[in-house]
Structure 1
Amino acid sequence: MAEQSSTANGDRDVLAHIHELIETEHRLRSGAEQGTGSTTHDLAAIERQLDQCWDLLRQRRARQEFAQDPDEAHLRPENEVEGYQQ
């Protein structure tokens, strides 16, 4: 039971970070539309971080599904996960 709780907490942490990145992305996009100087570079960096986080969450869930330790999942390099389609 404690193992499931730990797994759920880890997944929640990753999801919380994803939600923070999405909020930042929305603010940047809104700022870009309002002409506040938000750059394409900033948005691209957020998108790469989101790709990494979604990949990490998928890894964790797959490991759990196949009775492996989800905490052994790791953040893969940007160039490995960049451009994943949701």
Structure 2
Amino acid sequence: MNKSELIEALVAKTDMSKAAAGRALDALLETITTTVAKKQDVTLVGFGTFKALKRAARKGKNPRTGEALKIAATTVPKFTPGATFKAAVGKKK
């Protein structure tokens, strides 16, 4: 499912127009992104938690040449699914 298909699903399940559903989805994604960028967690109970995770500097290897290289420390986004979401995805048919 891509973004436009997700907007269509929102329209089908709510009384929103397609434009309003698109704006709501954009606002939700922007809010999650800016909050996690500020190193704050976003927890949606039952769905999951978005957080910023610090990754330490490490040594790597160029797969083409085998040459060793340094990979700098960075902060990456991480999503941890909630129990309800995990149960729904893992449910056997």
Q: TM-score, normalised by structure 1?
A: 0.31
- Structure 1 or 2, whichever has the larger Rg, is 2
Q: Which has the higher helix share?
A: 1
Q: Which has the higher strand share?
A: 2
Q: TM-score, normalised by structure 2?
A: 0.29
